[in-house]
């Protein structure tokens, strides 16, 4: 089964922001390669999206959230998405593209303080 992919405006803005950050750290060529790879990784979700594990945010939301890891080390990003099963068309909705070290969505920022 092939899934249609929709990218939210928030996820697009997050990807663009990551691209700009990477182009300042490295080069525009390297950032462009990263961005192209990100789009290819997202496109791969059209086949077997449930191969990806549940996102750590899953417990904070009523809809099942999954994540696709893209990149390595300090350049790792999480593509957070949900699978919307339909009768005729099933859709992958990309909700966020976040750096792996960013705070968990829905988590209280003061919960780590003791």
CA 83 to chain centre: 13
* Per-residue pLDDT tens digits for 35-88: 999 999 999 999 999 999 999 888 888 889 999 999 888 889 999 999 998 878
Residue 80 has what pLDDT? 96
Residue 103 has what pLDDT? 65
* Per-residue pLDDT tens digits for 92-107: 999 999 998 776 776 6
Residue 106 has what pLDDT? 62
Judge contact between 65 and 94, C-beta under 8 A.
no
Q: What is the pTM of this model?
A: 0.86
Instruction: Tell me the domain boundaries of the chain.
Output: 4-99
Residue 109 has what pLDDT? 55
The CB density around residue 67, as the number of other CB atoms within 10 Å, is: 21
The verdict on domain 4-99 having CATH code 3.50.50.60 is: no
């Amino acid at each position: 089964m092939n899934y249609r992919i929709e990218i939210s405006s928030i996820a697009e803005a997050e990807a663009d922001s990551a691209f700009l950050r990477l182009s300042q750290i490295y080069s525009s060529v390297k950032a462009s390669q990263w961005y192209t790879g990100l789009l290819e990784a997202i496109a791969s979700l059209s086949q077997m999206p449930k191969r990806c594990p549940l996102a750590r945010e899953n417990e904070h939301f009523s809809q099942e959230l999954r994540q696709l890891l893209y990149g390595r080390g300090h350049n790792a990003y999480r593509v957070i998405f949900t699978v919307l099963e339909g009768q005729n068309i099933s859709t992958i909705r990309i909700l966020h593209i976040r750096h792996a070290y960013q705070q968990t969505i829905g988590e209280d920022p003061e919960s780590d303080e003791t």
